[in-house]
Structure 1
Amino acid sequence: MAIATVESSTITAPKVEKDRQTTRAPYPNYKIIVLDDDFNTFEHVAKCLITYIPKMTPEKAMELTHQVHFEGLAIVWIGPQEQAELYHEQLLRAGLTMAPLEPE
């Protein structure tokens, strides 16, 4: 009768470095992009930007509105995702044509 022999082997866990540092990556910022369309007036777009985007001046709103008209789009705000979602939804509800939110 043959007896099977089993060699014992030691299983070792991977070594964990004690000096391991935790790296923290910042949350990404999101861009709010207004797109050109054929039905919103300059005045309406500028008024919406002033109403819903914090610290938007009338001059900056008109500059961005012209950019939307002549270049087809403008990035009107960049910041944290939660705020970006709010401002994006408000502009969308006001009737502006919006690109989907995208990380910066």
Structure 2
Amino acid sequence: MTYSKSSSSSLLERQRTTKKYPEARVIVLDDDVNTFEHVVKCLVKIIPGMKEERAWELAKEVDKEGAAEVWCGQLEQAELYHQQLSIEGLTMAPLERC
């Protein structure tokens, strides 16, 4: 039996794929229970970097439009903020992927 060595060897090149971490939107819904003040207090307390002025704008949007996106980002963080806002009594839409 004769063995032949090939002069060209085939190398498998590793392909690098980058997957984007899933993101989600946190949306507060309008209701007849929560006051503007409570919504603002909760947003400032729970959403990182939320300023009171922006929280008031979002509370007004919730009242006028029926809903407002208060945060969008990594899914795990979105789940946490969604849960915390729900615990505070805000009416929340289901998380949406962004």
Per the shorter chain, which TM-score range?
A: 0.7 to 0.9
**1:25 offset after TM fit, Å?**
1.6
**Structure 1 counterpart SS, 2:39:** helix
Give the alignment partner of residue 80 of structure 1, picking from 74, 86, 97. 74
Stretches of structure 1 lacking an aligned partner (at least 5 in a row) = 1-16
Instruction: Please identify runs of 4+ aligned residues in structure 1 that moved more than 2 A.
Output: 17-22
| Percent pairwise identity | 58
One-letter code aligned to 2:15: Q
Unaligned 5+ residue runs, structure 2?
A: 1-10
Whole-Å Cα distance in 2 between the matches of residues 103 and 72 of structure 1? 19
**RMSD over aligned Cα atoms:** 1.3
Question: Which one-letter code corresponds to 2:32 in the other structure?
Answer: D
The match for 2:45 is: 51
- Counterpart Cα distance in 1 of 2:16 and 2:96: 27
Query: Equivalent residue of 1:30, what SS?
Result: strand
* Alpha-carbon distance, 1:21 to partner: 2.2
User: 1:29 maps to what in 2?
Assistant: 23
Alpha-carbon distance in 1 for matches of 2:53, 2:79: 24
- What's the secondary structure of 2:60's corresponding residue? helix
The aligned amino acid for 2:19 is A
Determine the structure 1 residue equivalent to 2:96.
Answer: 102
Counterpart CA distance in 2 for 1:55 and 1:78 is: 13
TM-score (norm 1): 0.79
Q: Secondary structure at the match of 1:31?
A: strand
Secondary structure at 1:33's aligned position in 2? strand
Q: Which has the larger radius of gyration?
A: 1
TM-score by length of 2: 0.84
Structure 1 residue identity aligned to 2:60: H
- Provide the rounded CA distance (Å) in 2 between the counterparts of 1:99 and 1:18: 47
